[in-house]
Chains A and B, each alone.
Chain A
Amino acid sequence: MSPTTIGILFAVATLLLMVSGMPIAFALGSVAVLFIIIFLPASLLDTVTQNVYEEMSAITLLSIPLFILKGAALGKSPAAKDLYSSLNAWMHRVPGGLGIVNVFACALFAAMAGSSPATCSAIGTAGIPEMRRRGYSPGFAAGIIAAGGTLGILLPPSITMILYSVAARVSLGQLFLASIIPGLLLVALFSIYVGWRYKREYAAALAHVQSTGESSPILAEEEFSFKEKLRALPRVVPFLVLLLGVMFALYGGYASPSETAGLGAVLAFILIAVVYRMWRFRQVSPILAATLRESTMLMFIIGMSLMYAQAMSHLNISQSAAQWIVGLHLSKWVLLGSLVVMIMVLGFFLPPVSIILMTAPIILEPLRAADFDLVWFGVIMTIVMETGLIHPPVGLNIFVIKNIAPDISLSEIVRGVMPFIALMLIGILLLCFFPQLVLWLPSFFAIK
């Protein structure tokens, strides 16, 4: 049977098992094993577990549970609330300040925690009620948090980036550095939109007051004394020191990515013990248990996705598909556009970890042939997958928002996030026109 026919059967089997509702990890593993049994020598079956172990025991991959642990320690402490309150005290005078505070808080927390849903939940729990109390429309407030949360998979340390570095065999240090300016670009785009939208909601509220005499909370001014501002700082500074300290350890050459993850987790626990007195077993065990649940689920998907990718390679599917794409002789940008659309569609249904590991063997070779920089593409791919996190029908962050603000309807949340998806696409276009926005920082630090 030709690789094309086997490839089509492989894709159909994957689709059937995935759509059936089987756990993604076991669906991928089952398809891989089934096709090895049918089409490949039986001896290959004896090595599948060894291959999964060898791939999973890559220390870079195993930093994932430790980055999750660091994020869980911060997410389950009042750190996010304090960060939010402090930023609010210092930035309330900026037009649309509260909304922009939420974007900034999401970015900072994402950089500390490295997880999109954790960021969404930690900042949203404080941010959504506060924005609504101050008169922001529910959809707008939900959109800000859902979109801000997606920065968790872009800003370093990002689990998605760790996986991409393994799949594409590019430097994790370069990837982390490369994502900083695009992350800040998205923060800027989100903030500009939030400021503009706030002015519109403010103007609408003002017109409403003038016509009906009914006041709106969005028109009320909030004031903080300098003393209040200073009082907000001490609880936040240690966490910013943690953020900078971990980055310094990594880029100063003192620690590898996995050591950085371990160091970050230990420092996060020391900080929550000192700042919030969270050190007893009953306080710490939920953090550890939550980390085990999330990281085990993720690592199973990663392990089985790697096995799936290996089966594709043994069956010559990935090579044939890559050759076919190269053979189409598409122009550079048509190729990129097609891949972006494909990743976006996959993002409707699959988590970023699976998308990266399932598609990398097929799409990286054509991208190399078209002379794309794979570090640059890693950032583009991550932003595209970010849109999947807030895109209907199944964006994860939408459900996180629904979980923390059940009274906001799904349609309001979806309407609220759509402008942010457009902003992300604008961000991707800007990075295509100005690739140096991605590549300048890694070349400046010359991380190899």
Chain B
Amino acid sequence: MSHSVELSEIGPVEKAAVPLPEGGIWLDWLLYGLNRAIVVASMLALAAASIVLTYSVIARKFFGAATDWEDEVAVFLLVGATFLCGAMVQAHRGHIGIQVLQGFLSPAANRLRLFLCDVVSCAFCGFFAWKSWTLCHEAIVEGHRTSSTLGPPLWIPYSLMTAGMALLTLQYLAQLLDWLRRPAQAS
């Protein structure tokens, strides 16, 4: 099994937040720039969610204030950070998979296997991005809101989900193009 993310976190070598696309084409550099910006925004979202939830405890306990909006804000921040960072994790190849076949196949067969895995993953992410967009569009047109007392519009998290999955699809496309341009390196 591949555990690239965990091992990268705990090993002695600290990984850059977004890996540099050495020898990449314009799409790689575009994704690199977007992912860097998103990582910073998501770091802030993560910190903000922690602070909002802490405020919720303090406000309720010490000031007797009603805390009906904090959970919702934290959800939006964390869902947004999660989906938007999907592409950054893929740039590290950090979505874990089971690699039991690796040792049994020749290098050429392994290359083909990984290429096909990326094609199917890319297709799935593209499908999910498309369906997220239709959901987002419907929420905008019909003015869907959450059922809480704050009732913020649902297009906010849906649009973040759509953008995140679209970016992830693009990241897969960029990696597939890289396979095609430089098959030897991909091995």
Contact = CB atoms under 8 A, between A and B. Distances in A.
Interface of A: 17-27, 29-30, 33, 45-46, 48-50, 53, 56-57, 59, 62, 65-66, 69, 72, 75, 117-118, 120-122, 249, 254-255, 258-259, 261-263, 265-266, 269, 285-286, 288-297, 299-301, 349-351, 394, 396, 399-400, 403-404
Contacts of A263: 50, 53-54, 57
A258 B67 CA distance: 13
Interface stretch (B23-31, B129-137, B179-187): B129-137
Contacts of A45: 131
A23 B47 CA distance: 28
B100 A349 contact: yes
Given A19-B98, A254-B61, A296-B89, A288 B43 contact: yes
A50 B135 contact: yes
Interface in B48-77: 49-54, 56-57, 61, 71, 74-75
B95 A25 contact: yes
Interface of B: 1-3, 5-12, 14-15, 17, 39, 42-43, 46-47, 49-54, 56-57, 61, 71, 74-75, 78-79, 81-82, 85-86, 88-89, 92, 94-102, 113-114, 116-117, 120-121, 123-125, 127-128, 131-132, 134-135, 157-158, 161
Contacts, number: 206
B26 to A, nearest CB: 25
Nearest to A56: B79
Nearest to B70: A259
A297 B2 CA distance: 12
Secondary structure at the B interface, as helix, strand, loop or mixed, is: helix
B121 A26 contact: yes
Nearest to B131: A49
Contact of B43 (A19, A289, A297): A289
B113 A20 contact: yes
Given A56-B79, A294-B5, A23 B74 contact: no
23 contacts: A20-B101, A22-B121, A26-B120, A26-B125, A30-B121, A48-B131, A53-B161, A57-B79, A65-B49, A65-B82, A117-B3, A263-B53, A292-B85, A293-B15, A294-B9, A296-B94, A297-B96, A299-B82, A301-B96, A396-B6, A400-B10, A404-B10, A404-B11
**Nearest 7 Cβ contacts at the A-B interface:** A262-B53, A23-B95, A121-B10, A288-B43, A26-B121, A394-B1, A289-B17
Contacts of B57: 249, 254-255, 259, 262-263
A291 B121 CA distance: 23
A288 B82 contact: no
Nearest to A30: B124
Contacts of B95: 23-26, 297, 300
A294 B15 CA distance: 13
A296 to B, nearest CB: 4
Given A262-B54, A301-B96, 6 more contacts: A59-B71, A261-B50, A261-B53, A293-B8, A294-B5, A394-B100
Contacts of B123: 30
Nearest to B12: A404
Given A45-B131, A297-B95, A291 B7 contact: no
Nearest to B2: A21
A62 B11 contact: no
A292 B42 contact: yes
Contact of A49 (B10, B97, B128): B128
A22 B43 CA distance: 28
Contacts of A266: 50-51, 54
A265 B50 contact: yes
A65 B3 contact: no
A288 B2 CA distance: 22
Given A19-B100, A288-B43, A293 B9 contact: yes
